[in-house]
Amino acid sequence: MSFIRKPKIINPNSPRNELGLTVRDYEGGMSTLCAGCGHDSVTGAIVQAAFELNIEPHRMAKLSGIGCSSKTPAYFLSQSHGFNTVHGRMPSVATGANAANSDLTYIGVSGDGDSLSIGLGQLCHALRRNVNMLYVIENNGVYGLTKGQFSASADLGSTAKKGAANQQPPIDPCRMAISMGAGFVARSFSGDREQLVPLIKAGLRYKGFALIDIISPCVTFNDHPGSTKSYEYTRQHFHPAVQADYIAPAEEIVAKYHVGEALPVQLHDGSQILLRKIDHGYHPTDRAAVYEYLERHQQAGEIVTGMLYYDDSLQEMHDISQICDEPLSTVDHSDLCPGSETLQALQDGYR
């Protein structure tokens, strides 16, 4: 992975968070992506979210697969743990890391190719196990890194740069996640930082698997008039359904709202998400209704965004498996070790 170190010059007047850190402390190396790539805006939103949440960078783990999107963890949180897996295998590595150390904040960054083609099975199992992590898909409808082939999220009839039309129906990661029982499903646009930052904060604080599908245009291969993942198309067909405001633990909800229009949901650490309906007919906690709404709007060519589905009643992987609260990585196993003779006898039994 290419890495260009950024000179670290901090303006003494830069705002500092509760840890005394500036936004610069949450950045990574210099981006080597094409100028204007949506993925760089997502990187900026992740940096801002981690800064505002006062996360200690070394208590965070960032994982990815292969693709331009999967390169981006090199561009944020340079002081965090990082693992760049082989193509489509990030979810299983994240599952293993999370099983061993439940004490870190996990973020996985992937692409539509990495998640919906080669890694689809992996994504489904992390989702079904409800691994406690934020999973971001930077969705541009193409394999950007390998020069713009259609991915599994390309819409029917959308065209490649040279004009060929896509013949295959798309996989919508949000509808897929909702149908599989996920408890936190959101969609946003790399060009809408105001919507994106609170969603990332909420996803990082949600206890369980949080999926955010982010339309993140590829300016080099899929930002032309025949594309349905271009900046222009996304801006024109953007349909926000529910706005999510993230409210830190000690903060009060000050926004005024009418009953029925907004729903404050408590997260396990005492913070809250205030879900505000923009479309009053939308019900973000009614799985079947959300699914039907998304399908209907997708058929009309609209991109429904915001906090699409929320359920805080699910148990995450450690609760389901009844694993102790202490991270397994710090549990002292020395008195539990059966010893080399017992292990040898066990191995002999398999020969």
Ligand X SMILES: Cc1ncc(C[n+]2csc(CCOP(=O)(O)OP(=O)(O)O)c2C)c(N)n1
Q: Which of 313, 83, 60, 50 is nearest to 207 (CA)?
A: 313
In the complex, minimum distance from the CB of residue 31 to ligand X, in angstroms, rounded to a whole number: 13
Q: Is 151 in the site for ligand X (CB under 6 A)?
A: yes
In the complex, minimum distance from the CB of residue 246 to ligand SF4, in angstroms, rounded to a whole number: 27
Cα angle value 196/135/148 (rounded, 5°): 85
Cα 109 to Cα 42: distance, rounded to the nearest angstrom: 10
The interface mask with ligand SF4, positions 35-64, x = CB under 6 A, is --x-x-------------------------
Q: Is 57 in the site for ligand X (CB under 6 A)?
A: no
Q: Which residues of 4-40 are buried (b: 16+ CB within 10 A; e: fewer)?
A: eeeeeeeeeeeeebeeebbbebbbbbebebeeebbbb
Q: Is 141 in the site for ligand SF4 (CB under 6 A)?
A: no
Q: Is 99 in the site for ligand SF4 (CB under 6 A)?
A: no
Cα 180 to Cα 19: distance, rounded to the nearest angstrom: 38
Cβ neighbours of residue 2 closer than 8 Å, sequence gap 6 or more: 32, 71, 74
**Strand-pair category, 262-266 with 272-277:** antiparallel
Q: Is 113 in the site for ligand X (CB under 6 A)?
A: yes
Which region, judged by CB under 6 A, interacts with ligand X, from 142-150, 155-163, 172-180, 254-262?
142-150
Which residue's C-beta sits nearest to ligand SF4?
Answer: 144
The interface mask with Mg ion, positions 111-150, x = CB under 5 A, is xxx--------------------------x---x------
Q: Which of 51, 135, 189, 221 binds ligand SF4 (CB under 6 A)?
A: 221
Q: Which of 250, 268, 275 is nearest to 205 (CA)?
A: 268
Cα 244 to Cα 247: distance, rounded to the nearest angstrom: 10
Q: Is 213 in the site for Mg ion (CB under 5 A)?
A: no
Q: Which of 144, 170, 198, 203 binds ligand SF4 (CB under 6 A)?
A: 144
With 0-12 CB in 10 A as exposed, 13-18 as middle and 19+ as buried, what is 257? middle
Would you tell me which residues interact with ligand SF4 (CB under 6 A)?
Answer: 33-34, 37, 39, 68, 140, 144-145, 218-221
Would you tell me which residues interact with ligand X (CB under 6 A)?
Answer: 66-69, 87, 111-114, 118, 138, 140, 142-146, 151, 218
